[in-house]
Amino acid sequence: MIRRFMILKALLIAVGLSTVLCGCSYLLPLAFVATPKQKVAPEYDKLANTRILVLVWADPATLFDYPYVRLELASYVRDKLAAELSNIELVDPVRVADYQQRTLDGSLDPERVGREFDANTVVYLELLQFQIRDSSAPDFLRAQIEASVAVYDLDADPDEPKIYHLKPVEVLYPEQGGVLFSTSNSAQVRQAGYALFAEKVARKFYEYEEEL
């Protein structure tokens, strides 16, 4: 009996030492596994089996500082939608940006653009704010992106809504504050801000889980 106790004690000590040496705790994974989550329903769930055009509008001042912002944001959103949704077709953002460049009318009609590319649905993103430099400290980088989101259903029946206004999207990256400007930092901050923006827009169209 004593021998069994001593063996068990030695095993427990060995397990405890290995836990300390590897710098982990068996209790921590349980805590993470037990983190409660909830499913979030999409704001708009009618994209299946449609041809989708992502259209980004930006004011002239923004385009002067960031001439490719419409193409860049539309491409990130398009890629995220393609990764998360099946049974959809997406218009090439390069073709849309080229059309916007050739069209002098700054206030493009989303429905007109959608029909130009034989789309069934237009995801229209109107930039309300866009900065990569921190507005309060120009020597620092901080992506600030805010946009309204609307969906144009070009195949809607006469008695159905054609335009659905969804909740605006806001991105602030890094959240904790800006980072000092450098060439490499500028690209990293912009790409991370674009990716976060695309994720927030795309999540409006599919179910996902978030921690409570």
Provide DSSP, 84-146.
Answer: H-SSEEE--HHHHHHHHHH---SS--HHHHHHHTT-SEEEEEEEEEEEEEETTEEEEEEEEEE
Sign of CA dihedral 184, 140, 149, 105: negative
- What's the rounded mean pLDDT across residues 175-192? 84
Work out the mean pLDDT of the chain and round it to a whole number: 85
pLDDT category, 34, cuts 50, 70, 90? low
pLDDT at 85 over 90: yes
Residue 138 confidence (pLDDT): 75
Q: Are 176 and 203 in contact (CB under 8 A)?
A: no
pLDDT category, 29, cuts 50, 70, 90? low
In the chain, the percentage of residues whose pLDDT exceeds 90 is: 65
Residue 14 confidence (pLDDT): 45
pLDDT category, 164, cuts 50, 70, 90? very high
Looking at domain 40-211, its CATH class is alpha beta
- The single-letter DSSP state of residue 44 is -
Using CA atoms, how far residue 100 sits from 112, 160, 181, in Å, is 12, 29, 31
Closest CA to 81 of 73, 90, 72: 90
pLDDT category, 7, cuts 50, 70, 90? very low
Q: Are 54 and 90 in contact (CB under 8 A)?
A: yes
Residue 168, preceding bond cis, omega within 30 degrees?
no
Residue 33 confidence (pLDDT): 61
**Host H or E run for residue 185:** helix 183-202
- What's the rounded mean pLDDT across residues 119-124? 98
Cα(56)–Cα(54) distance, integer angstroms: 7
**Domain range list for the chain:** 2-33, 40-211
Residue 148 confidence (pLDDT): 98
Residue 140 confidence (pLDDT): 86
The torsion angles phi and psi of 38, rounded to 5 degrees, stand at -130, 150
Closest CA to 58 of 97, 21, 30: 97
